Structure formats: structure tokens, C-alpha cells
Amino acid sequence: MGRLILVSNCVAPISEGGPAAGGLAVGVYDALKETGGMWFGWSGDVLDTPPDSIKLEEHGPVTFATIGLVKRDYDQYYRGFSNATLWPVFHYRLDLIEFDRHEYRRGYCRVNRWLAERLAPLLKPEDVIWVHDCHLIPFAQALRALGVKNRIGFFLHIPFPAPQILLSVPHHRELMEAMCAFGQTLKAAAYPIGVYPDEIAALAKDDESGRDVEIVKATLHHRKLVMSVDRLDYSKGLVERFRAFERLIEHDAKQRNNVSFLQIAPPTRSDVDAYRDIRLQLEAESGRINGRYAELDWTPIRYIHRQYERPVLAALFREAHVDLVTPLRDGMNLVAKEYVSELTSRVVYEPHRDA
């Protein structure tokens, strides 16, 4: 078998603890490390002029191949059709769709072709290509048009919409035909994805005495910790989660000053209107709830709008008594599995601890 070639919209940045937290990065990077291969995609950079070449970086058995996008491509392919049309449709939020029947779709297809043209010269005959998520639905079709004959798989990370929902996407028929352009034989199935419990336990142990974790422990005192980690996305049910926690402390007075809720929500897609709106909603709700129930020595909700590395999150999971995961509609969400893995490691390796 040849190399595994992972293709995603954006290549996750790699740090000492591995890729940043998130379904794609956590779920597939370990598989790529085991097989060896290449991770190809957008670097995250938005450029004024077209990039000259692909940037290649070696990290052990994995080659990271990244390239920037010019502003027009970013606006039409990523911010436009991917995030303002496909993402709300696939999450059944038709009220959030931004329709631009021509420019968004043309930009989306154009960038998929352009990315395929950049990848094709890097491929070897035995490579297996693994394409990820709704940003790259036409990518296989673009590779086939270039004469690429390698085996191609497509992994959708989010719910596939019902037919009546899919009909709201402009040119939905062409889109689905492009998604099925893998060759003469096509197999579709649900493929659950998991985590590596031993690795998560090791990450937690490595950072359990870190500064961030010590601050949380010092400020908790006798209280229980409820923790959530989510991208700042309207599909995650974050506003509803804040209101549910408010109901808990409203109707069960003994929970007041006895439980703290920590919500970590890293920024994402901040230039898309719907994501700016959800941030403003969360800031308003957390301020309102804290203003209503906070005491001099207790803040009910700690809402943190920033990214933390995986070792820090794993160590925080070790301190949490409850992991709260409440998406309204979601696909590849691994946070609950990571927390359960850490909980299991506590029971197995630290039986004296109150888990």
C-alpha cells in the first residue's frame, strides 16, 4: 500500500502536544502518523497575490503540504459557499443561508479544481487519497478530470441532510454527482471514529501541574466543575447550554456556590455574520446569568473565548466532574469520547481519586 494522502480544507497547526483540538485534527492525525503520508490543504493564510508554490514541511513520517488562498477565493469558496451556504444547510439552519447562486458556487468549484491541480503532481501511483468534509465535495471529480486514477475516499464530518433540505442548495444535483465521482464502484457507509485513550491520559498527566490547571484548582475550592469545550459554532447548542445551566441553579438552590461551569469556546470563522452573532449572544448570556447569580466568591459561568493546547484541555478534563456536550445537530464530535477516556484512566490508574 502506498502513502495516505489526507486532503482537508485547512491543515491543522502542529504544536508540541500534536494538532490543536478539533474533530478533524484529533481524529485523523493519529491515523496519518501510523501509516505515514501527506496532509494537503489550505494554510489558513489569505494573500493579496496568488501563491508561488506549495510549502512542504516534514514532521516525522508526515509531510505537511500547505498553500494560501487569495482574498477572492477565500470569500467565495470558504466564507461564501462552504460556510454561508453548505454549513447551515447540512445543519438544518435554513434561516442562516446566504444565497449567491453564481459567484459563491463558481468560486467553490474553481478553488476545488485549483487545489486538485496543485496536489496532482505530488501524487504517486499507489497513494490512497482521503478527502474530508463539505468544503471539498467536488475535489474527487476535479482529480478525475486531471487523469488521477488513485483510490479516493470521502469522509463527511457533519450530518448529511435529508433530500428536502438538500434541495435548498443551488445546483444540488451537480454537487451530488461530483461527490460520487470516485470511479466505477462507490460504497457509502457510516464510519465511526474514535480516540486514543492512553495518549489522552498521558497528555493529562504531563500537564496536570501546569499553570492553567493549578489556577482552576485554586479557584474551585470545594465546588464541582462542569466543563465544556466547543468551537464557537451555532450547531453546538452553546446559548441553550448556558440557559440550561441557569435553570439548574435557578430551580436547585443548593447548587449555587457549589458548582462552576467552565465553557471554553475557541474563535472560529469570525468574519462570518452568524459566528459574530453567536459570540455576542454568548457574551450577553454569560454576563446576564453571572450578574443575576454571582456572589463575591463565586462566578457561575466562566466563559473563555480562546484556544488551548490539547495537554491543557486533557488536564482540565481530569479535574472536571461533568463534561457537558449538547450539540443541536452535530457530526464528528470527539469531546465526549476524550472526556470518557480520561475518566476511565482515572478509575483504572488512580482508584483512590474521587472520579
Cα(105)–Cα(312) distance, rounded to whole angstroms?
Answer: 40
Asked about 91 being catalytic, the answer comes back as: no
Kindly name the residue from 132, 133, 157, 230 that is annotated as catalytic.
Answer: 157
Which residue's entry shows cell 487519497? 129
Strands 4-10 and 37-47: parallel
Kindly name the residue from 75, 133, 207, 330 that is annotated as catalytic.
Answer: 330
CA atoms within 13 A on the CB side of 32: 29
Are the beta carbons of 264 and 313 closer than 8 angstroms? yes
Reduce the DSSP state of residue 111 to 3 states and report it: helix
At 117, list the grid cell.
Answer: 491541480
Cα(284)–Cα(298) distance, rounded to whole angstroms?
Answer: 19
The residues that bridge with 3 in the sheet, in sequence order, are none
Find the helix or strand (DSSP H, E) in which 153 lies. strand 151-155
Are the beta carbons of 204 and 341 closer than 8 angstroms? no
Q: Cα-atom radius of gyration of the chain, to the nearest Å?
A: 22
Q: Which of 179, 115, 182 is nearest to 148 (CA)?
A: 182
At 342, list the grid cell.
Answer: 480520561
Asked about 157 being catalytic, the answer comes back as: yes
Catalytic positions, please?
157, 330
